[in-house]
Copies of this chain bind each other. A is one copy, B any other.
Amino acid sequence: MTTTGEAPARKLTAKGRATRDRIIKAAAELMYEHGAQNTNNEQIRIAAGVSGSQLTRHFPTKESLVRAVLARQADVIRARHQVPEFAELDSFAALRRWADTFTASLDMVRGGCTFGSLAAEVVKTEPSYRDAVSDGFEQWQELFRRGLSIMRERGELRPDADPVALTHLIAAAFQGGALLDQAVGDSKPLRDALYGALAYVESFATRP
């Protein structure tokens, strides 16, 4: 990832880093709620409790801030998937628990996926967003690919189950379902899409 126009995080003092993190967190919340387009410096400054000069020192351009928010949301999502109850996403039960957790979240109805909805909003506007978007989706999908590969190695999935293709179905069902949820203000599209995708994955089980 390039750092054009952005203060490199690793050269910051502890205090500077805390300020930077506070700005990114405030920006992430505002952009999730209203879209990146409808989020301005003044709102971010107030929400983060920083001065205008602090904001522009850390993020001289909106582009640098949007990229930092995309990277943060990708990290947050990865962390939300790496919790004990989902194990390594390497069993049918773990995948069901994952789907249960995310379809129960009202976030999907209100604002879509915290990463995907921002990604979809900005993907056309800057080439560097496309890299950040692609990186984020890649990191997330890697969790499913790995889990499904482990299941196939253990013989729980048939040899003709393709972890890459099945991951694409799960990821697309999630992103598209979250968009449909957001549009209609109802959680049924995401639930139907995700449980349909998992039922298809389960159709490759060696034991019914």
**Which one of A133, A174, A189 has the highest number of Cβ atoms from chain B below 10 Å of its Cβ?**
A189
> Which chain B residues lie closer than 8 Å to A196 at the CB level?
165-166, 168-169, 197, 200
Smallest CB gap from A173: residue in B: B172
Is the beta-carbon distance between A172 and B200 smaller than 8 angstroms?
no
Instruction: Give per-residue flags for A26-65: 1 if the beta carbon is below 8 A from chain B beta carbons, else 0.
Output: 0000000111011000000000000000000000000000
Flag if B183 contacts A176 (CB, 8 Å). no
| Most chain B beta-carbon contacts within 10 A, residue among A33, A116, A162, A200 | A200
Hey, what's the 0/1 contact readout for A91-116 against B, CB within 8 Å counting as 1?
00000000000000000000110001
Residues of chain A in range 67-123 having any CB-CB distance to chain B below 8 Å:
111-112, 116-117, 119-123
B173 touches A192 (CB 8 A): no
Q: Say whether A23 faces chain B, with CB atoms less than 8 Å apart.
A: no
Q: Closest CB-CB distance, A95 to chain B, in whole Å?
A: 14
Contact B166 A172 (CB under 8 A): no
Q: CB-nearest residue of chain B relative to A175? A: B176
Interface residues of A in 193-207 (CB under 8 A from B): 193, 195-197, 199-200, 203
- Are A189 and B172 in touch, CB under 8 angstroms? yes
Interchain nearest-CB distance for A27 vs B (Å): 15
Residues of B within 8 A of A199 (CB): 200
Would you call A179 and B120 a contact (CB within 8 A)? yes
A-B contact pairs, 25 of them (CB 8 A): A35-B125, A38-B124, A38-B125, A112-B120, A120-B121, A121-B121, A121-B124, A123-B179, A124-B182, A134-B183, A134-B184, A134-B185, A165-B195, A165-B196, A166-B192, A168-B177, A168-B180, A168-B189, A169-B193, A171-B180, A172-B180, A173-B176, A173-B197, A176-B179, A196-B200
